[in-house]
Copies of this chain bind each other. A is one copy, B any other.
């Protein structure tokens, strides 16, 4: 860390801070500039150090110089991680395509969708059984009954199942039926849940919170990795900005940025990222061109009758057309959907 002293900080203050730095077990190194003095604090940084030093006398700011995530870091593991969960392969050249309805609504709806997306080239099936809803008065999902239908769809199509888990006490139950546990954007910093899925044998799809920084996302992944589960996919699903013509703003630069910082695969979600069906194919193609390792999209037999998220779901034909486009773009960037 670099402790930057205020202009005009006294020698006494500098000495005091040097002592503080050393009391933390760090080596100090004072550099006297033309206008200010800075103290380099060398050694292994621990979380509360920055905060602690920042409130010292005469201190202007403390600049950290090392990323606080470790296991997720590409500096620690340079080669990309490929997550394999049943039929789904994501990362290290494999492009996964996860498609399906927002909510599991009925056997008929789910099985029809599973068959249609499989035929069009999807490599996994998504579908919500436990639904986090903004309003307590909204449909909350079919719960275990929904999970059973998902397992049935896997039997019928061979597609791996991706579904959300909302609470610690459901991790085992959901893990009994699903191949991939999704941690939703609203729960990205529900640390108890992160710890719980970190102990699960299932792969994890971790969605970025709507206002989470890259560092917070990687530290959330770190919570999971730290419990021993190495199969974590990061998912960009859009952030909250001043833009209102889309539901969220999907920053496609997340893909190359994360790929530079971490070995974990990166999935994008153009359905939530845009919130409008007509924008989904272009943004899916964009994500793939940017190098994404997977996409996750909403597909419904009849979007206008969907119990949730109909306005951002594709019907079977739209998904099929999107897949034609995406396959061409994937080839152009040397990715294989498999």
Residues of B within 8 A of A246 (CB): 251, 253, 257
Q: Which of B7, B166, B219, B333 is close to A136, meaning CB atoms less than 8 Å apart?
A: B219
Residues of B within 8 A of A311 (CB): 51, 54-55
Closest to A304 in B: B55
Contact with B along A266-308 (1 / 0, CB 8 A): 0000000110011100110111111100000000000111111
Q: Which of A42-50, A121-129, A148-156 contacts B (4 or more CB under 8 A)?
A: A42-50
- Complex CA gap A138/B331 in Å reads 43
A47 → chain B closest CB, angstroms: 4
Contact A68 B253 (CB under 8 A): no
Residues of B within 8 A of A177 (CB): none
Contact B325 A7 (CB under 8 A): no
Q: How large is the interface on A (under 10, 10 to 19, 20 to 34, 35 or more residues)?
A: 35 or more
Q: Which of A26-34, A79-87, A110-118 contacts B (4 or more CB under 8 A)?
A: A26-34
A220 → chain B closest CB, angstroms: 8
Q: Which of B55, B66, B132, B190 is close to A310, meaning CB atoms less than 8 Å apart?
A: B55
What are 28 of the A-B contact pairs (CB < 8 Å)? Answer: A2-B38, A4-B65, A8-B75, A31-B42, A33-B43, A38-B40, A38-B65, A48-B307, A51-B309, A55-B277, A55-B303, A63-B63, A136-B191, A167-B192, A211-B211, A211-B240, A239-B241, A240-B240, A242-B242, A251-B251, A253-B283, A282-B289, A286-B287, A286-B289, A288-B289, A325-B332, A328-B332, A329-B332
Q: Which 5 A-B pairs have the closest CB atoms?
A: A211-B211, A289-B289, A186-B189, A47-B138, A256-B282
Sample of 11 further A-B pairs with CB below 8 A, known A63-B65, A187-B190, A286-B289: A2-B38, A33-B43, A38-B65, A47-B133, A47-B138, A51-B309, A52-B304, A52-B306, A168-B169, A250-B251, A289-B289
